Amino acid sequence: MTLIEALALLLIGTLAGFINVLSAGGSMLTLPLLMFLGLPPQEANGTNRVSIALQSVSAVYNFFRAGARHLGLSLRLSVPAVVGSLVGAWLALRTGDALFEAILIVVMAGSALLMLLPQPRLTPAR
| pTM metric for this prediction | 0.72
pLDDT digits (tens, 9 = 90+) for 7-64: 998 999 888 888 877 777 888 888 888 989 999 888 888 888 888 888 888 888 888 8
- Nearest-angstrom CA–CA distance, 49 and 103: 17
pLDDT exceeds cutoff 80 at 72:
yes
Planar angle of CA 10, 12, 17, nearest 5 degrees = 95
The share of the chain scoring above pLDDT 70, in percent, equals 98
Q: Which residues contact 32 (CB under 8 A, 6 or more apart)?
A: 108
- Do 28 and 108 touch, CB atoms closer than 8 A? yes
Percent of the chain with pLDDT over 90: 12
